[in-house]
Amino acid sequence: FWKTIPPTEPYRVILGDVRDKLYHTRERSRQLLSNGISDIPEEATFTNVEQFLEPLELCYRSLCSCGDRPIADGTLLDFLRQVSTFGLSLVRLDIRQESERHTDVLDAITKHLDGSSYRDWSEERRQEWLLSELSGKRPLFGPDLPKTEEIADVLDTFKVISELPSDCFGAYIISMATSPSDVLAVELLQRECHVKTPLRVVPLFEKLADLEAAPAAVSRLFSLDWYKNRINGKQEVMIGYSDSGKDAGRLSAAWELYKAQEELVKVAKKYGVKLTMFHGRGGTVGRGGGPTHLAILSQPPDTVNGSLRVTVQGEVIEQSFGEEHLCFRTLQRFTAATLEHGMNPPVSPKPEWRALLDAMAVVATEEYRSVVFQEPRFVEYFRL
C-alpha cells in the first residue's frame, strides 16, 4: 500500500497522492478532535471537495483522450459521481436556531457598543442598522463582549461554522421567523464570526400570523439591494406544518400554508427569484404527515418547479429509509410526484371554494383555540 510507485505508472502516481492526502485528512481530523491541535499541516490535506475532484477528473479526461473511455466510464465515473454527491462530509448539516436567540446576541452587542437596546428597536430601525453594518467593515464586538450561556452558545455555533469546510453545511434555518431583520441578523453574525462562505439563510414561518405575514416579509427582503445581490437570484423558504397546526388547528393551518405558498411564489416571480419551498412536515397527520406522493401533488401550482425540500421526522425514518429497497421506493415517490406536479400542474381553487375555506378556517380556529387554549381542564385531561 505504501510502496513507492514508479513514474512509468502515471495513474497510480496521481492516485497515490490522493491516497496520501485522504489519509492525512483523516488523521488531522482525528488529532484536532482529540487534542485541538495537529502536527499535520492543512496543506497536506483535502479541505474541500473541489481539491478531491481535481485529480480524479484529470484521470478521467486522460483516459478518454487516450481512447480508454470504457474504463473511464466504469468504476472511476461511479466514484466521481459519489464524490460530487456526498463530498468529504457524506452529508450536509443544516443549522437551526430560533430568531429570539439572535436577537439576544445583537441586543448584547448594541448595549455594549452604546447602551441602546436592539430588542426595543422598531423593525424599521433594526433593518436600517443591520444594513448599515453589513455595508460597513467595522468589527462589532471583541472578546470583552458580556455573554450569557445562551449568547455564547449562538456565537460558538458560528465559530464552528467558520472553522469547518463550507461543504459540511447546508442551510442556516431561522425558526419562528417573523420579519426581514431576522434574516439580516444571521447574515451579519456570519460576517462578524468570519464565516468565509456564508450559509444560505432560510426563514422558517411557523405560527398562523407569521404565515399570513410571510409574503410581505419576503417581499421586503427582496426589495433590499444588498440582500438581492447576496442571494444571487435564489431563495429558500421553510414553512412549518407542526407548529401552525398546534397554533390554529389542522384545517386552518393547511389552508393558510396553501395560501402562503401561492403568495410567496407571486413575490418571487415579481423580483425574478427562484424560490424553493422547504416543507417542515411531521410524521403524524396532526404534524403535516401523510402519503408522500399525494402530499406533493396537493401543493399549489408553480410552487414545486422541479425542486423542493422536505423534513423526514425521526419517528418515520425507519419506514422510509430502514431498508435499501425502502430508500429506492421513497426516492421514486418523491421523484415521480415532483415530475408529475410539473408536467400536470393542479388547478387553482375556484373563488367560491376559497371563500368557503376562508369561512371554515375562521370557525375552525375559534373552535380549536376555545378548547386547547381557553379550556382550563384541557391539559389536566391529558395528564390523567
Cα-only R_g, the chain:
25
What pLDDT sits at residue 384? 77
Lowest mean pLDDT among 74-78, 178-182, 346-350: 346-350
φ, ψ dihedrals at 90, nearest 5°: 75, -50
Instruction: Look at the alpha carbons of 138, 139, 141, 144 in this order and tell me if their dihedral is positive or negative.
Output: negative
Least confident of 80-84, 136-140, 170-174, 252-256: 136-140
Does the pLDDT at position 243 exceed 90?
Answer: no
Q: Return d(Cα 330, Cα 320) in angstroms, integer.
A: 6
- pLDDT (0 to 100) of residue 382: 82
| Residue 1 clears pLDDT 70, i.e. is over it | no
Q: What is the pLDDT of residues 56-71, one digit of tens each?
A: 999 999 999 999 999 9
> Can you tell me the distance from the alpha carbon of 290 to that of 294, in angstroms, rounded to the nearest whole number?
8
- Outline which parts of the chain fall under CATH 1.20.1440.90: 10-86
What CA–CA distance (Å, rounded) separates 330 from 321? 7
Does the domain at 93-237+260-275+291-340 match CATH 1.20.120? Answer given as: no
Boundaries of CATH 3.20.20 in the chain? 93-237+260-275+291-340
Catalytic residue among 246, 270, 274, 350: 246
111 is catalytic: no
Average pLDDT over all residues of the chain: 90
Beta strand 274-280 with 169-175 is unpaired
Interval 225-238 mean pLDDT: 93
Mean pLDDT of 130-149: 89
Q: For the chain, report the end-to-end CA distance as a whole number of angstroms.
A: 66
Model pTM score: 0.85
Please state the rounded mean pLDDT for residues 219-227: 94
Contact assessment for residue 238 and residue 284, using Cβ atoms and an 8 Å cutoff: no
pLDDT at 380 over 90: no
Distance CA 171, CA 163 (A): 16
Contact 95, 199 (CB under 8 A): yes
Strand, coil or helix: what is 282?
A: coil
Q: What is the pLDDT of residue 139?
A: 87
- State in words which class domain 10-86 has: mainly alpha
How many residues does this entry show for the chain?
Answer: 384
DSSP 356-375: HHHHHHHHHHHHHHHHHTT-
pLDDT tens for 280-330 read: 877 777 677 777 888 888 899 888 888 888 888 787 888 888 899 999 999
